[in-house]
Structure 1
Amino acid sequence: MGLFGTKHKQSDARLHQLLEDVYADSDQCVRILLRRTDLYPVYISANFRTMLGIDPQRYVDDIYVLMRRIPAEDRLKLERTIKAWDRVGKFNQCCAYDMPGEQPIRKHFRLAVMPVTNSERYLVELVDVTEEQQAIEQARAERDRALQIVEGRSSFMSQMSHEIRTPLNGIKGIIELARDHSVDRELLLDDLQRADELSGYLLSLVNDVLDMSRLNSGHVELEALPFDMRLVARELQSMFEKQAQDAQIGYRVEMDGAADVFLVGDRMRLNQVIVNFISNALKFTDAGGSVTVTVREMYRSEQTVNYLIRVRDTGKGMDPCYISRIFLPFEQEDRTIARRYGGTGLGMAITDALVDLMGGKIVVDTEPGKGSDFAAYIPFKLADEKQIEQLEQNGETLETRSDEGGTPTEYTFAGKRFLLAEDNNLNAMIATAMLEDLGVAVDRADDGPVVVDMFERSAADAYDAILMDIQMPTLNGWEATHRIRALERPDAQTVPIIALSANNYVEDARESRKAGMNGHAGKPIEIAELKAQLAAATAESALSSRR
């Protein structure tokens, strides 16, 4: 039953009854009949308390009790609407409403007020549109996110255009200078050196952009293989020791409180994260400063152990206000950073995405002039006894690792014979010329089936290595490697096979390893990288033959 005013006229009874009959089944709309002269409620629908959380009698005693439950901003709008209303037509307005209680619930109503024909009454309707409003707000939020993504992509592409055009314009200008300096060898070599530096930056930028794209699209899958964390620390020490020494920067890697060192995870991606931290630390630290890498076991939970990898430097530091933007693409603290220190501006964005993919988090502490502290907290699974035993058998623990069998500095090209699989004539010409300058004899195959056939028809141990392009028209490099490894001749298992690919991603390197290759080098060929890959492959082959 509705609540009727105690001082209504007998003539209102039929109107009240009509309202009760018409709206008896309506549970989403509160209806109130107000007297025009003093806005006294002469009728209140039965669902008033349920819908609004207020006793009807309280509203009868204080007709402004509902208004006070409307948030200030909506209340001001409603008051302006009522003030401008001509009292003849109908007006509608949506507003928020806070249901009373220990924890107020925000609801939304559509308020409609209209004069009742031939009666000194106003009919007020409050329709619950909370679900509709939530749907509208969700749609607006999704729209805003979509606009933000579009704006971000537009800004990213604009920045990309600038970042790519800058070195391209530089290379083009240097080529023009090189033509003018063709008779002056010293100036010509200087031009070539600058062109090489710019092309190296451009290649690094393209690789980083593609890495970011793969991470954002979810195409990067983490590996779950056992490894010894102590070897990671040792490799980080040797990797940057010479660079730090040349820059007169103190550098050390510390293993601190690590009881569980045999872990399961993606060692290559972990290296990528830490290397990025260390590279930045060395870049922004002047001579006389120091960079310290700490690898520490934090806590263990069942079969999971959490590690802290922290890189602390005494370099230039940053304004703490910049920390919220440091992991955004192309964000740098000021415009002089790229000019003074280099870099693509994508490294930290990639690092943050990788740590997030690993289920970890990054914490940054920095102060201008006092250095920076980058800490990654990353969970790993513990390796089981079988996995640890396999690591020991493979010589992949600190105790069993042997440096015998060759290092990058011990490998010599002179007198070697390579089989080069490359379908692109220009790439083949460049690779052949570079290798021949080093004293290597090169035989070329222009497709997958050809390289398999040439190796199969060659004499035993005729080739010291096979350099295998991945993308070839008839048979790709991975499948060609499968077929070579399956041949019934002793050197089919031991000949070093190095992948050459423009796609120099971690995932591609894994695929090359699965196919039976010994290494994976990027294009364009970097002789130092190829030398390191061949040295490692030679050592690997020597170890395999001894077994």
Structure 2
Amino acid sequence: MEEQFLQPEVDGDYNLLMCTMGVSVSKHLVDEHFTVLWANDFYYDLIGYPKEEYEATFHNQCDLFFARNKAGWDTIVEAVTNALETGKSRYDVFVQMERKDGSLIWTKITASFTEEVYNGHPIAYTVITNVDDMIQKRIEQTIAYENIPGFIAKYKIRKDGSLGLLDANDKFLSFFGIKKENISTFPTFSHLTEKSRIVLDEHIPLMQKGEPVHFVICSRNKNGSYSWFQLNGECIGCVNGESIYIIVYIDITDITEQRELQKKLEEQSQLLKDALDFAEKANQAKSDFLARMSHDIRTPMNAIVGMTAIAGAHVDDHERVHDCLKKITSASNLLLSLINEILDMSKIESGRLKLSEDEFNIGELLQDLIVMMQSEIKNKQHKLDIHVSGLHHENVVGDIQRIKQVLMNIISNAIKYTPDNGQILISIEEKAPHDGIANYEFIFEDNGRGMKPDFLDKIFQPFERADDHGISSIQGTGLGMAISHSIIRMMGGDIQVESEYGKGTRFTIHMPLKYHEKAFDEKIERPELSVLVVDDDKTACLSTCNCLSEIGLESDWVCSGSEAVAATRKRHKEKEDYFAVIMDLKMPGMSGIETTRQIRSAVGPDVPIIILSAYDIDEYETDARKAGANGFVAKPLFKSKLLQILRRFLEKGEVRQVIEPVKFSEVDHSGKHLLLVEDNDLNREIAEEIIGSTGVLVETAVNGQDAVDKVMQSAEGYYQMILMDIQMPVMDGYEATRQIRQLPRTDVVNIPIIAMTANAFSEDVANALNAGMNHHLAKPIDIKALMGVLSTYL
């Protein structure tokens, strides 16, 4: 029986077939040796031993054959044991077998267990195949796969455009921190930058078509740092309509960073070059500016010095002295404006300009500006129109001085750069009030010289002036528009300019301002009363009529004096006289005064006629009253002012001119005691003279300590006011104010202390108030403002 198993009768054709196919077929006992019971000829050819030598050397015991290849034997034993323990009928295993010449070849062993038993051990049939070439290629590929300078990953490109990771080399797994068993669940390309995600998405349609792809991405690794990769992908097959891709990642981080560094260096080099060009241009502009300033400052200084000398030489000629003083004042104001603009520009460039928050009325502000510019408008004989639209919030909060500065600068430029007999239009409109803030739009239009296109790009740059021989004689620093632009931007607004050379200019300012009241909604509610509005400016007529409608009155309007006379005569004849007539002063053909005279002649004295004008009414007041005018109002006409005027007529009162300058010599504060604290002798003399003209008894102190001593030594309530300079020797005005407030007496708590100083910026005002002062006056002293402060506190 045993001999039969050792040398079975095998079909010669079968054995030949197996050898021809290169397949080893053998029968083994499943014992501790895996003893060979029988094997075909290829079995021996495979291991390189003749059958007789194999049997003599190893006694058909496989463990002896694998004695020098323990790893291979352990692999076989583990595979057989696992198969038997798990109840499997077969096993497959790849192992290396050592041939007689000492070489190793890779083989695939496939064995099936049978129910046959020999000497108590099961029998297994085994097929051994030479797979050395295949395994060697796989090993070579694996070595290349793992040692390529980059990563390799295998992807499935799904129909919906998403990518599934199928396999990857160890470098890829290590970079992203992926475990081998989690490959299928790893969210592919989830670590890309936003721009790289866009690049990938652009290439997915190509991969869905199976086309080769090459692109660069930037991806984050498991530690959070980023690297740059060149991706090269090739389609290797298609499963169920979905492309399979091998993608090679080549790390180009160093190259990319070098490129980025080079790019940054080039950009920085360009920035430095631009900065150098800008600095050179700025230096040249400042040099030109200083040259102009030397001329512009010396011009008014020459006038001041020269006129002072002339006045001194003609002290007995009162008219000549008066003329010199007038010219000295004009030159002084020009010099002061030059100095203020230089200081403002310095503040803006250093970032130290601060905006204050003052409560003011927009109508009054603009009216003040118009009054201040009256003489210039008159000298150049300009026609000025003012349009107001949709103004519901007149009382607002903002830096009134800076806003005045901006608006004055633009109005002044319009007057200066518009040839004589020009036209200037100012429009104001409130837009989109929301959450306590309204956007006020100011438009300034003129038909003056205009600007060339090349200067429009530079108009808001400091130290720039238009290169135009036609305006070379007009004085200016080239700072006004730059300062105005900076102030408006600090307020959160914007300023724009449109201009056509030789035709005119239009400035538009958008200024957001907080309002501290509800919309103006007071009304007269007398619809039976009708008002006639007369103005050659149709827009002005419609604006005034709209205001009348909003306060509850009916109105008609006409654009000429003759139409006004005809309309009033008709209503008078019908015994339905107008309640009032609002008449523009200057109109072509028949003036407002002549129209008033003819209306008064036609309808008698009962219809009030109000003269409305953007010009100085003083020189026309006498003639207008003789013609029958009842009152005078300065433009612009706001709803609140219109309501006030008409209510006075309802109460049978008379409207007085709204802007009526008060001469300080008419103010009487006799019996009041005031302490003037000033270290400069000349300034002290000037202040004493001006303040003393009101009847106030002025006492002086030469520094802060002197002021503290005088207050401390005075009786309770002796001083009704203290005017305090800031920069003084011994003790400055801030400290003096603090010490006065802390004196052990009752009157110092409420005594008005007013800063009167050349420290004129917004932070100086804040510092004065923080020190305990009540108000701030900037030098040179505005006499009207000083008189207002005296009247307020005395």
TM-score range, shorter chain: 0.5 to 0.7
Deviation at 1:407, TM superposition (A): 5.4
1:109-149 residue CA offsets vs partner (Å, 9 max, x unmatched): 99xxxxxxxxxxxxxx9933453245335533542454355
Aligned residue runs from structure 1 range 495-514, under 5 A: 497-512=753-768
Instruction: Please name the residue that 2:787 is paired with.
Output: 535
How far apart are the structure 2 equivalents of 1:266 and 1:178? 36
How far apart are the structure 2 equivalents of 1:532 and 1:285? 30
Letter matched to residue 165 of structure 1? S
Letter matched to residue 516 of structure 1? M
Deviation at 1:323, TM superposition (A): 1.4
How far apart are the structure 2 equivalents of 1:248 and 1:157? 35
C-alpha contact 2:303 2:331 (8 A) present in aligned 1? no
Q: Residues 358 and 178 (structure 1 numbering): CA distance in 2 closer, same or farther, change over 3 Å?
A: closer
C-alpha contact 2:286 2:463 (8 A) present in aligned 1? no
Matched, 1:410 2:538: no
Deviation at 1:469, TM superposition (A): 1.3
Instruction: Please name the residue that 2:160 is paired with.
Output: none
Aligned residue runs from structure 1 range 225-264, under 5 A: 225-264=358-397
How far apart are the structure 2 equivalents of 1:532 and 1:261? 23
Look up the SS of the partner of 2:150 in the other structure.
coil
Greater Cα offset, 507-516 or 194-203 = 194-203
Q: Residues 453 and 177 (structure 1 numbering): CA distance in 2 closer, same or farther, change over 3 Å?
A: closer
Look up the SS of the partner of 1:420 in the other structure.
strand
Deviation at 1:532, TM superposition (A): 1.1
Deviation at 1:221, TM superposition (A): 2.6
Matched, 1:520 2:520: no
How far apart are the structure 1 equivalents of 2:440 and 2:369? 16
Letter matched to residue 409 of structure 1? K
How far apart are the structure 2 equivalents of 1:212 and 1:231? 27
Letter matched to residue 265 of structure 2? I
Look up the SS of the partner of 2:450 in the other structure.
coil
How far apart are the structure 2 equivalents of 1:303 and 1:355? 19
Matched, 1:162 2:291: yes
Aligned residue runs from structure 1 range 116-135, under 5 A: 127-128=255-256, 129=258, 131-135=260-264
How far apart are the structure 2 equivalents of 1:191 and 1:226? 39
Instruction: Please name the residue that 1:379 is paired with.
Output: 512
Matched, 1:150 2:279: yes
How far apart are the structure 2 equivalents of 1:246 and 1:476? 45
How far apart are the structure 2 equivalents of 1:183 and 1:246? 29
Q: Residues 195 and 267 (structure 1 numbering): CA distance in 2 closer, same or farther, change over 3 Å?
A: closer
Instruction: Please name the residue that 2:425 is paired with.
Output: 292
Look up the SS of the partner of 1:341 in the other structure.
coil
Structure 2, gaps ≥5 residues long? 1-139, 154-171, 173-198, 208-212, 219-227, 231-251, 522-639, 646-655
Q: Residues 383 and 167 (structure 1 numbering): CA distance in 2 closer, same or farther, change over 3 Å?
A: closer
Letter matched to residue 785 of structure 2? Q
Aligned residue runs from structure 1 range 9-408, under 5 A: 21=147, 23-24=149-150, 127-128=255-256, 129=258, 131-140=260-269, 142-144=271-273, 146-148=275-277, 150-167=279-296, 185=314, 200-334=333-467, 336=469, 339-383=472-516, 408=662
Instruction: Please name the residue that 2:196 is paired with.
Output: none
Q: Residues 467 and 353 (structure 1 numbering): CA distance in 2 closer, same or farther, change over 3 Å?
A: same
Letter matched to residue 319 of structure 1? K
C-alpha contact 2:285 2:464 (8 A) present in aligned 1? no
Matched, 1:476 2:737: no
How far apart are the structure 2 equivalents of 1:307 and 1:461? 46
Q: Residues 183 and 135 (structure 1 numbering): CA distance in 2 closer, same or farther, change over 3 Å?
A: closer
Deviation at 1:336, TM superposition (A): 4.0
Deviation at 1:356, TM superposition (A): 0.8
Greater Cα offset, 194-203 or 357-366 = 194-203
Letter matched to residue 159 of structure 1? D
Deviation at 1:225, TM superposition (A): 4.8
How far apart are the structure 1 equivalents of 2:661 and 2:306? 39
C-alpha contact 1:170 1:195 (8 A) present in aligned 2? no
Deviation at 1:346, TM superposition (A): 0.6
C-alpha contact 1:329 1:349 (8 A) present in aligned 2? yes
1:285-315 residue CA offsets vs partner (Å, 9 max, x unmatched): 3332232222201223444321101112232
Q: Residues 201 and 244 (structure 1 numbering): CA distance in 2 closer, same or farther, change over 3 Å?
A: closer
How far apart are the structure 2 equivalents of 1:436 and 1:134? 70
Greater Cα offset, 466-475 or 532-541 = 466-475
* Higher Rg of the two aligned structures: 2
How far apart are the structure 1 equivalents of 2:716 and 2:493? 50
1:190-224 residue CA offsets vs partner (Å, 9 max, x unmatched): 99988876665444333212211222222223334
Q: Residues 98 and 163 (structure 1 numbering): CA distance in 2 closer, same or farther, change over 3 Å?
A: farther
Relative CO higher for 1 or 2, CA cutoff 8 Å, sep ≥ 6?
1
C-alpha contact 1:419 1:466 (8 A) present in aligned 2? yes
C-alpha contact 2:703 2:728 (8 A) present in aligned 1? yes
How far apart are the structure 1 equivalents of 2:419 and 2:344? 30
Q: Residues 343 and 250 (structure 1 numbering): CA distance in 2 closer, same or farther, change over 3 Å?
A: same
Deviation at 1:280, TM superposition (A): 1.2
Q: Residues 231 and 164 (structure 1 numbering): CA distance in 2 closer, same or farther, change over 3 Å?
A: closer
Letter matched to residue 429 of structure 1? L
How far apart are the structure 2 equivalents of 1:160 and 1:258? 41
Deviation at 1:463, TM superposition (A): 6.1
Q: Among the aligned pairs, what percent are the same residue?
A: 28
C-alpha contact 2:674 2:698 (8 A) present in aligned 1? yes
Q: Residues 175 and 139 (structure 1 numbering): CA distance in 2 closer, same or farther, change over 3 Å?
A: same
How far apart are the structure 2 equivalents of 1:130 and 1:439? 78
Letter matched to residue 448 of structure 1? G
Letter matched to residue 353 of structure 1? S
Deviation at 1:412, TM superposition (A): 5.6
Q: Residues 150 and 365 (structure 1 numbering): CA distance in 2 closer, same or farther, change over 3 Å?
A: closer
Q: Residues 384 and 198 (structure 1 numbering): CA distance in 2 closer, same or farther, change over 3 Å?
A: closer
Instruction: Please name the residue that 2:524 is paired with.
Output: none
Q: Residues 380 and 192 (structure 1 numbering): CA distance in 2 closer, same or farther, change over 3 Å?
A: closer
Instruction: Please name the residue that 2:710 is paired with.
Output: 454
Matched, 1:420 2:676: yes
How far apart are the structure 1 equivalents of 2:304 and 2:389? 52
Look up the SS of the partner of 1:325 in the other structure.
coil
The TM-score with structure 2 as length reference comes to 0.46
Letter matched to residue 399 of structure 2? D
The TM-score with structure 1 as length reference comes to 0.63
How far apart are the structure 1 equivalents of 2:411 and 2:394? 21
Q: Residues 152 and 447 (structure 1 numbering): CA distance in 2 closer, same or farther, change over 3 Å?
A: farther
How far apart are the structure 2 equivalents of 1:479 and 1:379? 37
CA RMSD, aligned part only? 5.4
C-alpha contact 2:692 2:698 (8 A) present in aligned 1? no
1:38-95 residue CA offsets vs partner (Å, 9 max, x unmatched): xxxxxxxx9xxx89x889x99xxxxxx99xx9xxxxxxxxxxxxxxxxxxxxxxxxxx
Deviation at 1:428, TM superposition (A): 1.9
C-alpha contact 2:724 2:754 (8 A) present in aligned 1? yes
Look up the SS of the partner of 2:348 in the other structure.
helix
Aligned partner (choices 429, 436, 450) of residue 682 of structure 2: 429
